[in-house]
Amino acid sequence: MKSRRYFKYLFSIILLFLFSGFFPGKGDLYFEISKNIDLFGSVYKEISLNYVDDIDPEKFMREGIKGMLNSLDPYTIFVDENKKEDIELITNGKYGGVGISIGIRGDNVTVVEVLDGYSAQRQGIRIGDILLEAGSIKITPANMEDISSLVKGKPGTEVELKVLRNGDKDTLIFNLIREEVIVKNLIYYGFYPERSNNVYMKLTSFSRSASDEVKKALKELKAEKEIKSLILDLRGNPGGLLDVAVDIIDKFLEKGELIVTTKGRDEISIKEYHAVQEPMIGNAKLVVLINGGSASASEIVAGAIQDHDRGVILGTKSYGKGLVQTITPLNYNTSIKITTAKYYTPSGRCIQKIDYSKESDIIINVDSMIATSYSTDNDRIVYGAGGITPDTTVEFEIEGDLTAGLLAKGLFFKFADYYYYRNIDEKFSSINNEKLTNEFTKYLKENNFVYKSESEKQLDELIADANKKKLNEKVIADLQNVKKYFEEIDNSELTLYKDEILTEIKGELASRYFGAEGRVEELLKYDTQFRTAYNLVSDQTVYNKLLNIK
Mind spelling out the 3-state secondary structure of 198-236?
EEEEEECCECCCHHHHHHHHHHHHHHHCCCCEEEEECCC
Question: Is 35 part of the annotated catalytic residue set?
Answer: no
Whose CA is closest to 386, among 346, 352, 355, 347?
A: 352
Question: Which parts of 310-432 fold into alpha helices (H)?
Answer: 401-408, 411-422
Q: Do the beta carbons of residue 350 and residue 322 sit within 8 Å? A: yes
Any bridge partners for residue 403, and if so which? Answer: none
Question: Is 321 part of the annotated catalytic residue set?
Answer: yes
Q: Do the beta carbons of residue 183 and residue 172 sit within 8 Å? A: no
Q: At what angle do helices 411-422 and 433-446 cross, to 10 degrees?
A: 120
Question: Is 401 part of the annotated catalytic residue set?
Answer: no
Task: Decide: helix, strand or coil at residue 499.
Answer: helix
Q: Tell me the chain's radius of gyration from C-alpha atoms.
A: 29
Q: Do the beta carbons of residue 134 and residue 148 sit within 8 Å? A: no
The single residue of 202, 285, 321, 414 carrying the catalytic annotation is 321
Name the region of 433 (left: φ>0; alpha: ψ -120 to 50; beta: rest).
Answer: alpha
Q: How far apart are CA 298 and CA 316, in angstroms?
A: 13
Q: Do the beta carbons of residue 150 and residue 83 sit within 8 Å? A: no
The single residue of 209, 211, 229, 296 carrying the catalytic annotation is 296
Q: From residue 85, how far is each of 89, 94, 95, 119, 206 by CA, in Å?
A: 6, 8, 6, 18, 16
Any bridge partners for residue 365, and if so which? Answer: 354
Whose CA is closest to 405, among 293, 507, 490, 512?
A: 490
User: What are the counts of helices (DSSP H) followed by strands (DSSP E) for the chain?
Assistant: 17, 23
Q: Kindly report the length of the chain.
A: 550
Instruction: For residue 536, give the H/E element and its range.
Output: helix 528-537
Q: Name, in order, each residue with C-beta under 8 angstroms of 276's C-beta and a sequence gap of 6 or more.
A: 250, 255
Q: Do the beta carbons of residue 221 and residue 191 sit within 8 Å? A: yes
Nearest-10 Cα torsion for 235, 241, 246, 247: -100
The single residue of 73, 129, 247, 307 carrying the catalytic annotation is 307
Query: Which of the residues are catalytic?
Result: 296, 307, 321
